[in-house]
Amino acid sequence: MMRAPRSNALVWILAVAVAAGGLVGRAAAGSPPSLPATVDEALAMGLERVVVRVAVAQPADVQAIASWVEPWEVDLAAGFLIVDVDALGYLRLLDLGFEVSLDAKRTGKYNRVLKALPDQVEGIPGYPCYRTVEETLAAGQALESRVLVRAIKLYLSKRLDVYWGTVKQV
């Protein structure tokens, strides 16, 4: 389903500004945060990325979108695809004439902050069996330094043969 291209971003910016004022007022009143109902509300809440459902009618529409963002799901029979976009990506979809709606449930999951388990002291919050990138790099550097020191000792004691990038202990 293609609509006429929308090049007037001023209307969108004004809508976001009005929505932001309304959301700030509700947050200050102490009401619990809820999932946004529209893409404009989600972006006004400060979410950097949102998950949206885009109405598509033909494979060419999917290819046009997939040329700049990777779809999460494509269902041509149902006439939609799902992608995550930032504010500029959302405007680009609108400018291309697509009908875009927020997938609130997936946006909520995508933007949730993970919390550590009660006794968890390391690893990815909520997933103690996985190391963080920093922990993985630290382990690799420790291993690398031990191997490098061993290789230097073997080389200096003339028990290491280096031939065309292959290192062997002799």
- The answer to whether residues 89 and 132 belong to one domain is no
Inside any domain, residue 2: no
**Which residues 6+ apart lie within 8 Å of 147 measured at CB?**
none
Q: Which two tokens stand for residue 89?
A: 């990506």
- The answer to whether residues 23 and 85 belong to one domain is yes
- The answer to whether residues 153 and 74 belong to one domain is no
In angstroms, rounded to a whole number, what is the distance separating the alpha carbons of residues 61 and 73?
14
Domain with 167, as residue range(s), is 115-170
- The answer to whether residues 104 and 21 belong to one domain is yes
Q: What is the dihedral of CA 63, 103, 128, 117, to 10 degrees?
A: 170
Q: Say yes or no to pLDDT of 22 above 60.
A: no
In angstroms, rounded to a whole number, what is the distance separating the alpha carbons of residues 97 and 50?
18
Percent of the chain at pLDDT above 90?
32
Inside any domain, residue 71: yes
| pLDDT for residue 27 | 39
Nearest to 103 by CA among 132, 117, 120, 83: 83
| pLDDT for residue 170 | 67
| pLDDT for residue 125 | 85
Q: How many Cα atoms within 13 Å fall on the side-chain side of residue 157?
A: 9
Percent of the chain at pLDDT above 70?
72
In this prediction the pTM is 0.55
Residues 32-70: pLDDT tens digits?
A: 356 677 888 888 888 889 999 999 999 999 999 999 999
Average pLDDT over residues 91-98: 93
Most confidently modeled range among 10-14, 21-25, 71-75, 162-166: 71-75
Mean pLDDT, the chain, rounded, equals 78
Q: Which of 78, 111, 144 is the last residue of a domain?
A: 111
- The answer to whether residues 77 and 19 belong to one domain is yes
| pLDDT for residue 85 | 93
Average pLDDT over residues 81-96: 93
| Number of domains, the chain | 2
**pLDDT higher at 152 or 11:** 152
